[in-house]
Amino acid sequence: MENNMTVTNEHLITNLREEIGKVIIGQAYMVDRIIIGLLTGGHILLEGVPGLAKTLTASTIAEAVGIDFQRIQFTPDLLPADILGTEIYHQKTGEFVIKQGAIFSNLVLADEINRAPAKVQSALLEAMQEKQVTIGDTTYQLDLPFLVIATQNPLEQQGTYPLPEAQQDRFMLKLKIKYPSRNEESEIIDRFTTGNYKTPSMHKIISAQEIMGLREQINDIFIDEHIKNYVLDIVLKTREPSPYIASGASPRASINLIKAAKGRAFLEGRDYVLPDDVKAMVYDVLRHRVLLTYEAEAEDLQVEDVISDILDTINLP
């Protein structure tokens, strides 16, 4: 029965990838990571220049999964109430009516999150953590599944409010989105420069209720004690004294690395975690949690270089 379930899940993921592929050309890395976030309940931070289909990918996945989607354009004049909602006075009844904000959706895209001031960022991050929103005297539970995908442009720094490391820690994964390949970009050009192209109609592959069921299955995926210790070795290594690391990863890193590894195992059609699952997800889990020293920056080291060096010092289980 377990093998049948694994085959069924593998078929489901294949169908989901194919449905998303009707609209999104390439970007398999981003698509798979967003699916992992959705199936494990982990929020995602996307870093990439404009025009890499970040918004289109998020909305397409929401459509294929059959969940509500909202996009919030973050700007310097945005207020917490614009995201969470507010009380509006109704003159006829003399009562206050609650108007819910864009956060009340299953999948929320926080576009250019680093353009909004700290108060707005904190309001979003609190909702992400608590899965609830307080408006006036009333607390509202957010509908599940609930996933935030935040984007930021790595090139523009003027007029931005970079997310502090403590707030970045709330995101399960940080993805660095790359340009498409030459063949993929050629296909994109052909698609969007011809007048007869029509956006394909999307079919719902799974429902919100089924996603919650899949989350339980992923939680039950087997992880050997040796692999769990491998995760601990990696995370604890980031906290050891180093000329290149100013601050190591928090315990959230260990939790999220195991969750992400289980999610990848699920996408690969397995009910157990391999060391390769950990290695495949470790950069996305750690790159926003390991803070480099000035010495590392002076030597032009990237956080990925430091993580790679850590992996080289730890034996595979």
**pLDDT by residue, tens only, the chain of 317 residues:** 445 556 568 788 888 888 998 888 888 899 999 999 999 999 999 998 888 888 888 888 898 988 999 999 988 888 888 898 887 877 777 777 778 888 999 999 999 888 888 888 888 888 888 888 888 778 889 988 999 999 988 766 666 777 777 778 899 999 999 888 999 899 888 888 877 777 777 888 888 889 999 999 999 999 999 999 999 999 999 999 999 999 999 999 999 999 999 999 999 999 999 999 999 999 999 999 999 999 999 999 999 999 999 999 998 88
Nearest CA to 252 among 286, 218, 202, 276? 286
Does 145 sit behind a cis peptide bond, omega within 30 degrees of 0 on the bond before it?
yes
As a residue count, the chain comes to: 317
Can you tell me the distance from the alpha carbon of 279 to that of 271, in angstroms, rounded to the nearest whole number? 17
DSSP string, 229-243: HHHHHHHHHTTS--S
Q: Where are the domains of the chain?
A: 1-78+105-195, 221-317
CATH superfamily of 221-317: Magnesium chelatase subunit I, C-Terminal domain (1.10.8.80)
Q: How many CB atoms lie within 10 A of CB 167?
A: 18
Phi, psi (degrees; rounded to nearest 5) at 229:
-70, -30
Between CA 42 and CA 104 the distance in angstroms is 17
Q: Beta-strand (E) ranges in 34-156? A: 44-47, 69-73, 85-90, 95-100, 107-111, 132-135, 138-141, 147-152
CATH of 1-78+105-195, one of 3.40.50.2300, 3.40.50.300, 3.30.300.30, 3.40.50.970: 3.40.50.300
Rg (CA), the chain: 21
